A = this chain, B = another copy of it.
Amino acid sequence: MKMLKIPEPTVVRLSLYSRFLNQASSKGIDIISSDEIGSAVGIPSAQVRKDLSYFGEFGIRGVGYRVRELCSQVDKLLCVNQVWPVVIIGAGHLGLAMSGYRGLQDRGFDVIALFDANPAKQGELPNGLPVLPMEKLAETVREKDIRIGIITVPSASAQPVAETLIEAGITAIINFAPTVLNVPSEVECRNIDLTVNLEVLSFNLGMRG
């Protein structure tokens, strides 16, 4: 085991393993093999073992992995054994959808508040979450020590919003706007771009016939 410089694809798969292991764990499964994990998430078993081997030896040769143990180890690696407060910028359809998404809470991401520049959107949501004006952002981020921001504003406002977030102290961004954001290298930004995904499908459909 060598540690340091983990391939990003490995981290992505770790998240898939974690989800599956949590399910298996709550089903009461005790022992599981790399082969079972792999086929559950659609990945070869050698890859599963290699991924885990970056971080240590979690299994028992000839036997497999103890589910509860592996599960908590992987969760610790991903830092999802803690609560991460997040803010959502943009209280449109998408922002509201995200704020009501149970999967976030379940995985330890806690939406503290939404923010929207439009006063008409501000107030309190049915689920109790506040929608605040952008002016309150820096204060909230500081007080709750928030690192993660989710951008769901229209494309044209995404870059200025990102800058406001970074100014406020955010260092990790999920961007749903169909734009490549320009951020300093110490800020990590991941784009979730529906259009790009559709166009990859479109390309591949075109390749066939």
Binding site for B on A (CB under 8 A): 8, 11-12, 14-16, 18-19, 40-42, 77-80, 84, 86, 92-94, 96-98, 100-101, 103-104, 107, 109, 147-148, 155, 171-172, 174, 178, 180, 182, 188, 190, 192-206
Contact = CB atoms under 8 A, between A and B. Distances in A.
A72 B18 CA distance: 43
A178 B103 contact: yes
A15 B174 CA distance: 19
A16 B196 contact: yes
For A84, A188, A199, the residue with the greatest tally of chain B CB atoms inside 10 Å of its CB is: A199
Contacts of A193: 15
Contacts of A197: 174, 190, 192
A203 B14 contact: yes
B190 A107 contact: no
Nearest to A177: B103
A41 B188 CA distance: 16
Contact of A194 (B11, B103, B196): B103
11 contacts: A12-B196, A14-B199, A77-B203, A79-B206, A92-B97, A94-B94, A103-B195, A104-B195, A109-B195, A188-B204, A190-B200
Nearest to A77: B203
A78 B96 CA distance: 31
Contacts of A202: 78-80, 84, 148
A98 to B, nearest CB: 7
Given A103-B178, A194-B104, A80 B199 contact: yes
A46 B109 CA distance: 39
A-B interface, 6 closest residue pairs, ranked by CB to CB distance from nearest = A93-B97, A79-B206, A15-B199, A172-B201, A15-B196, A94-B97
A14 B101 CA distance: 31
